[in-house]
Amino acid sequence: MTVTVENTHAPTSLNLTPSRRAVLDIVKSAGRPMKAYDILSKLQEVIKHAKPPTVYRALDYLVTNHVLHRVNNQNAFMHCQQHVECSKQQEERVSILFSCQLCGAVIENANHSLTAIIKQMTGSLGFKSDADMVECSGVCQDCR
Ligand SMILES: [Zn+2]
Ligand SMILES: [Zn+2]
């Protein structure tokens, strides 16, 4: 089933199965990063028979398509805050996630200079990076 998502911040065509759509809605409405098991318990309110692999497969698809991002330093998933940019320039651009270690809020930002520096560094090291994210942990303005 192919669904055209009307939200302008979402890509024009995502193959959203019911479980993918439910996982997307859950993470999106949370407004902050969520851990996989919290997503699972929410999902089970909608899809009773949902099992961990259902969630992991849906998350995998949504992360690969840059709709959700994995926040490694919180072991959690968040909705992309800049989706138009992330989906359009996924090969070109590295986003930075500023992650608050007190309240869990994440601010996503992107900077072309950062992308250029990372490309230059990986190039000179002969390293092939598959990262589209850099994480910076700290304390947000509200928690300081
Ligand atoms: Zn993003
Ligand atoms: Zn905070």
Over 90: is that where the pLDDT of 9 sits?
Answer: no
Q: What is the pLDDT of residue 90?
A: 55
Q: What is the pLDDT of residue 112?
A: 80
- Which range of residues forms the domain containing residue 67? 3-138
- The string of pLDDT tens digits covering residues 80-139 is 988 666 665 555 678 899 999 999 999 998 878 888 888 899 999 999 887 788 999 999
Q: Which residues of 59-70 are buried (b: 16+ CB within 10 A; e: fewer)?
A: bebbeebbbbbb
Q: What is the pLDDT of residue 7?
A: 42
CA-to-CA distance for 126 and 36, rounded, in angstroms? 34
- Cα separation values, 96 from 14, 25, 52, 75, 109, Å: 24, 23, 28, 16, 5
Q: Quote the tokens at residue 67.
A: 């709709």
Distance (Å) from CA 49 to ligand 1 centroid: 30
Q: What is the pLDDT of residue 88?
A: 59
More confident residue, 21 or 90: 21
Q: What is the pLDDT of residue 132?
A: 80
Give ion ligand 2 contacts, CB < 5 A. Answer: 100, 102-103, 105, 140, 143
CA-to-CA distance for 59 and 4, rounded, in angstroms? 19
CA-to-CA distance for 61 and 82, rounded, in angstroms? 18
Q: What is the CATH number of the domain that holds 129?
A: 1.10.10.10
Distance (Å) from CA 5 to ligand 2 centroid: 31
- The string of pLDDT tens digits covering residues 65-81 is 889 999 999 999 999 98
More confident residue, 1 or 131: 131
Distance (Å) from CA 115 to ligand 2 centroid: 26
Is 53 part of a structural domain of the chain?
Answer: yes
Is 91 part of a structural domain of the chain?
Answer: yes
| Number of domains the chain is built from | 1
Q: What is the pTM of this model?
A: 0.82
Is 144 part of a structural domain of the chain?
Answer: no
CA-to-CA distance for 100 and 144, rounded, in angstroms? 10
Is 60 part of a structural domain of the chain?
Answer: yes
How much is the average pLDDT of 50-63? Answer: 96
Q: What is the pLDDT of residue 91?
A: 58
Q: What is the pLDDT of residue 103?
A: 94
